Amino acid sequence: MVKRIGTFRTKTRNKLSKEYRRQGKISISQYFQKFEQGDKVALKAEPAVQKGMYYPKFYGKVGIIEGMQGTNYKVAITDKKKEKILIVHPVHLKKL
């Protein structure tokens, strides 16, 4: 196998960058938003916050809130044909 060089943020110039007008401080209400179990959410990474960020392969996927783990949420998504649970900080989630 090939040895991987770098972190999971390599080759994500467009995914993990903000447009000019969105740069700066993040919204506190977005940081502390609440979700209920069963809510549908979209995975939309906030590049300014690295804590609780998921692997960029799942950017834009839609999932369902399964529960909480500390301050983060467990989000169930389907990747190809497998069900996966991601642990994501609320700042990286958008309610649908």
pTM: predicted TM-score of the whole model, two decimal places: 0.87
Residue 9 lies in a domain: no
Tens-place pLDDT, residues 5-28? 888 888 888 888 989 998 988 889
1 occurs within a structural domain: no
- Determine phi and psi for 55, rounding to 5 degrees: -65, 130
In a domain, 5, yes or no: no
How confident is the model over 82-95, as pLDDT tens digits? 999 999 999 999 99
Is the residue at 19 inside a domain?
no
On whether residue 20 sits in a domain, the answer given is no
| Structural domain harbouring 80 | 37-95
Asked whether residue 15 is assigned to any structural domain, the reply reads no
Number of domains in the chain: 1
CATH code of 64's domain: 2.30.30.70
